[in-house]
Amino acid sequence: MKLLIDIGFIDSTKDNKIFDSKRNEIIKGITKVILEQLGIEEQ
């Protein structure tokens, strides 16, 4: 199985700051979807 996750295009300092400020939200969202697809309940 292969998985490619594209979470955005960062081409400026402003974009990078937005990404950094939302890093934890992005991680939680990706984790939630992966667990759902695997049939694992969140803890």
Note the pLDDT of residue 1. 73
6-21-24 Cα angle (round to 5):
65
Domain boundaries, the chain: 11-43
pTM value is 0.73
Note the pLDDT of residue 3. 83
List the structure tokens of 42: 């969140």
Note the pLDDT of residue 27. 94
Note the pLDDT of residue 22. 95
User: pLDDT tens for residues 1-43?
Assistant: 788 999 888 999 999 999 999 999 999 999 999 999 999 987 7
d(CA 40, CA 15): 33
